Amino acid sequence: MENRSVTINYEDYGSREELDAADRALLDAAIEAVSGSYAPYSHFNVGAAVRLADGTVVKGANQENAAYPSGLCAERTAMFSAGALHPGVAMEALAVVCSREGALTPNPGSPCGACRQVMAQYEREAGKPMRIILGSGGHVWAFNGVESLMPFIFNDL
């Protein structure tokens, strides 16, 4: 038996201003997307934006339902929308922000496991790492590849 460990690398930016122009624009799209959140139960608003290989940006926001499990996270809303509207166009990057009572959360929110699984599939389709940008009212974290967020992800190959 051997003990092994996994190291996760990510970039920690002090604020959105430190990002390059493309990442900042995607983060801003995620912030705009919060306005589409429908969260009458949790009052937790999440916005997401996917950047495609051709530069198109597709936004999504969490959508809740009285039958709770029927709701969907912002990340999957954005990715499924991108997949449906732009089939076959690679998803290069995804930005996410969370908001409560009209203010971005003080720390980056981290995507749920189901959303990470969906990211992994589109990343595999794209054939290159998806950049994941998690914003907040302060720091911004960026991960190059879903494996950095979710090691040992399920993969049916």
DSSP line for 56-97:
-EEEEE-B--SSGGG-B-HHHHHHHHHHHHSTTPPEEEEEEE
Q: Is position 62 an interface residue for ligand THU (rule: CB under 6 A)? A: yes
Q: Determine if residue 154 is left, alpha or beta; phi over 0 gives left, psi from -120 to 50 gives alpha, anything else beta.
A: beta
Q: Is position 71 an interface residue for ligand THU (rule: CB under 6 A)? A: yes
- Which x/- pattern, by CB under 6 A, does the window 98-127 give for ligand THU? -------------xx--x------------
- Which x/- pattern, by CB under 6 A, does the window 29-48 give for ligand THU? ----------x--x-x-x--
Q: Is position 94 an interface residue for ligand THU (rule: CB under 6 A)? A: no
Catalytic residues, which ones?
75
Residue of 29, 74, 93, 150 interacting with ligand THU (CB under 6 A) = 74
Give the other-Cβ count within 10 Å of 103's Cβ.
Answer: 9
State in Å, rounded, how far the first CA of the chain is from the last one: 26
Contacts of 136 (CB under 8 A, 6+ apart): 97, 98, 104, 105, 106, 107, 108, 109
Q: Is position 150 an interface residue for ligand THU (rule: CB under 6 A)? A: no
Judged by CB under 6 A, the stretch of 7-15, 66-74, 80-88, 145-153 that binds ligand THU is 66-74
List of residues contacting ligand THU (CB under 6 A): 39, 42, 44, 46, 62, 64, 71, 73-75, 111-112, 115
